[in-house]
Structure 1
Amino acid sequence: MAGKQHDYLAALLSDDEEALSPSSAEPEVRAERTRGTTLLDRASALARVASGEVRQVTQLMLDPSRVRVWTGNARNYANLSEASCRELIDSIVAEGGQKVPAVVRRIEGDPQHDYEVIAGTRRHWSISWLRAHSYPDMQFVAQVAQLDDEAAFRLADLENRARLDVSDLERARNYAEALKAHYGNHLTRMAERLKLSKGWLSKMLKVAAIPDVVLAAFASLHDVQLKPAYALAQALDDKDHAVAIRKEAARLAREQTVRRAEARPALPSADVLKALLAAPTADASKSQPVTVVLQRTGRAVVTLRSSNRQGLTVRLHAGSGAQLDEVLNCVRNLLLQLDEEGQGLQP
């Protein structure tokens, strides 16, 4: 559409009268037709430009090394690879170049770059890759737009919504940053500007708050989908539950590391999520009363009532028939057992 507008406007403003009439018309007819309409058409075209109905769009052929990627985009440029961009790379090669222009804006004060990409990060990466792999003359095609940061964010967000390779978590964290940077932490205003449900946006922001130590349990951030991740984010609101979830996440992260080192399949995201959500219940079961019984009498000597970060609460039973040294030995055995289970007094 931009190209058609550009060609149409160029034709209307051209000094070449042939540009204003169908090429199939006879020269005499063309001349007669254009004689009375050229000035009117030019005036009409200028009026349409002035009103904003028609805009000339400038497309540039750029060296991608002179173009940086805007940090306000949700897509993580560092995560792009030949594999993830393979289809786009093949398409660019087959078509003899990039056909769909990216959107960039001009920048100042950066001696290494002249523009930054607002929409078209994968195209920028792919062209850069091709220039380094047998296509040194490949150019990055872009159209220049004048956008402030908030408008740039909305444009990038519209493009990313249709991209499956932008994870829910990447978008969620991008929204969290934009809420502070562009909307003064006003959720309603942001939802209105992005034409999004306020409730849905609230869930995205909730997911954005899941800490990295918990996310490390997953093999990939793309495994963190909005609906199940929201349940995890809610569970983390309980401080006691959060402790158990973090502990389980650390264990799962270690297992994922071992699996990668041994070239084994990663733990499925569904299994990871299930284990994390079950962690508070499993941890609570470890804190159930544990009783040490004196063998010679069969009576309870000491019972663990609770175990948490503040310490242990135990009950010493009267009437157990235990001597002082036997009571102390039972308490010692209890503490040793708790240490083995990770619930002892050791930090």
Structure 2
Amino acid sequence: MARKQSDYLAALLSEDSDAVSTAADAPATMQADRGDRARGTTLLGRESALARVASGEVRQVTQLLLDPARVRVWPGNARSYAHLSEETCRELIDSLIAEGGQKVPAVVRRVEGDPVHDYEVIAGTRRHWAISWLRAHSYPDMQFVAQVAQIDDEAAFRLADIENRARSDVSDLERARNYAEALKAHYGNHLTRMAERLKLSKGWLSKMLKVAALPEAVIAAFASPAEVQLKPGYALAQALDDKDKAVAIRKEAARLSREQTSRRDERRPALPAPDVLKALMAAPEANSAKPQPLVMNLQRTGRPLVSLQSSNRQGVTLRLHAGSGADIEDVLNGVRNILVTLDAEGRGLQP
């Protein structure tokens, strides 16, 4: 990864230079002449390089030792900083301890108008987290090593993306959502342009963006968003395009989400992702029969209190049953329970 990052930065900050060659067996006079020419070329090259830097054609890169507390994480990166932990960074932490510090620099850029931070991390989020953790756990002298680059948001996104492609702990869903945000922020919603800039297949990128659109109510059926992978996630997103199937999938997702919550509260193992996906995809078939009417009964009498008559784009129609023995508070609770159920199934009142 370090080599890819270095290659990328080299391309981003490249400058042409003249090659100077010498031959060991050349006559001394020729070597002297060549040395004079080389020194002249070097001086000209330096003047040219300085001129190009001054004009903005070439952007300088500086490496610094930083206090990670003065460095924030750029929000355009796909990696979720909040989900990093000692467990997920254990290998990196051990490596930093064994090597006596950080050997591969991160890439940062200077920020303005932030009294708390001087820089933000473009590539190297895990290194920032690990150094911060070490400084808080018996290694207060650890420094965050970073290259300071002057790059715009689009170039920063491409650089962060290159680093994240080699990281297995950046989930497909995280990357997909990052691509969806970048498509609007950096590429004016032009998919072809984005694919060309990232050197990605347009078809593959289209699938990632499809996965990014999965609703949170469906994602909640999984133990963690990180379990949503590209291939099954794309199939699930396609199924949700069918309105009839979507109702059944959302209803099953609500049930699975409650089950996952119950398992977490009881410290039981979560439902595995393959089982969750299988249940979601099978939901339309299981609910192909005419659905049972949605009715809320008054618990103390067992009589119908509120029932659903219809739910569509025009609104929700409910029937309040007479003779249930309910008071106003009972009726309001019944209406609320039906609306909550409809919302979980994706059939509720849409804003």
Q: 1:55 to 1:43 in 2, by over 3 A?
A: farther
Between the aligned partners of 1:229 and 1:181, the Cα distance in structure 2 is: 24
Q: Does 2:175 match 1:176?
A: no
- DSSP 3-state at the match of 2:177: helix
- Opposite residue 46 of structure 1, the aligned amino acid is R
Q: Does structure 2 retain, via aligned residues, the 8 Å contact 1:64–1:124?
A: yes
Alpha-carbon offset, residue 55 of structure 1? 8.4
Correspondence 1:257-336 to 2 at 5 A? 257-287=261-291, 309=311
Q: Match of 1:164?
A: 168
Q: Does 2:151 match 1:151?
A: no
Q: Match of 1:112?
A: 116
Q: Match of 2:102?
A: 98
Q: Does structure 2 retain, via aligned residues, the 8 Å contact 1:48–1:54?
A: no
- Opposite residue 267 of structure 1, the aligned amino acid is L
Alpha-carbon offset, residue 65 of structure 1? 0.5
Q: Match of 1:73?
A: 77
Q: Does structure 2 retain, via aligned residues, the 8 Å contact 1:104–1:142?
A: yes
Q: Match of 2:224?
A: 220
| Percent identity (aligned) | 75
Q: 1:64 to 1:34 in 2, by over 3 A?
A: farther
Alpha-carbon offset, residue 308 of structure 1? 6.3
- Residue of 82, 101, 115 corresponding to 2:86: 82
Alpha-carbon offset, residue 263 of structure 1? 2.0
Alpha-carbon offset, residue 264 of structure 1? 1.7
Q: What TM-score, normalized by structure 1, do the two folds share?
A: 0.72
- Which structure has more relative contact order (CA 8 Å, sep 6+)? It is 2
**What number of residue pairs does the alignment pair up?**
276
Between the aligned partners of 1:116 and 1:87, the Cα distance in structure 2 is: 24
Q: Match of 1:246?
A: 250
- Opposite residue 260 of structure 1, the aligned amino acid is R
Between the aligned partners of 1:38 and 1:232, the Cα distance in structure 2 is: 63
Between the aligned partners of 2:209 and 2:59, the Cα distance in structure 1 is: 37
List alignment gaps of at least 5 residues for structure 1.
6-31, 290-306, 313-341
Question: Can you list the C-alpha shifts for 1:254-274, whole angstroms capped at 9, x where unaligned?
Answer: 111111222222111111001
Correspondence 1:332-343 to 2 at 5 A? none
Question: Can you list the C-alpha shifts for 1:20-75, whole angstroms capped at 9, x where unaligned?
Answer: xxxxxxxxxxxx89984774363255167367999864210000010000000000
Q: Does structure 1 retain, via aligned residues, the 8 Å contact 2:59–2:149?
A: no
Q: Match of 2:237?
A: 233
- Opposite residue 208 of structure 2, the aligned amino acid is M
Between the aligned partners of 2:134 and 2:292, the Cα distance in structure 1 is: 61
Q: Does structure 2 retain, via aligned residues, the 8 Å contact 1:68–1:117?
A: yes
If you compute each CA radius of gyration, which structure gives the higher value, 1 or 2?
1
Alpha-carbon offset, residue 287 of structure 1? 3.4
Q: What TM-score, normalized by structure 2, do the two folds share?
A: 0.71
Q: Match of 1:304?
A: none
CA RMSD of aligned residues (A): 3.3
Q: 1:55 to 1:240 in 2, by over 3 A?
A: closer
Q: Match of 2:327?
A: none
Between the aligned partners of 1:104 and 1:35, the Cα distance in structure 2 is: 39
Q: Does structure 2 retain, via aligned residues, the 8 Å contact 1:102–1:123?
A: yes
Runs of 4+ in 1 over 4 A off after TM superposition: 32-38, 50-56
- DSSP 3-state at the match of 1:103: strand
Question: Can you list the C-alpha shifts for 1:115-143, whole angstroms capped at 9, x where unaligned?
Answer: 00000000000000011111111110000
List alignment gaps of at least 5 residues for structure 2.
11-31, 294-308, 318-336, 343-351
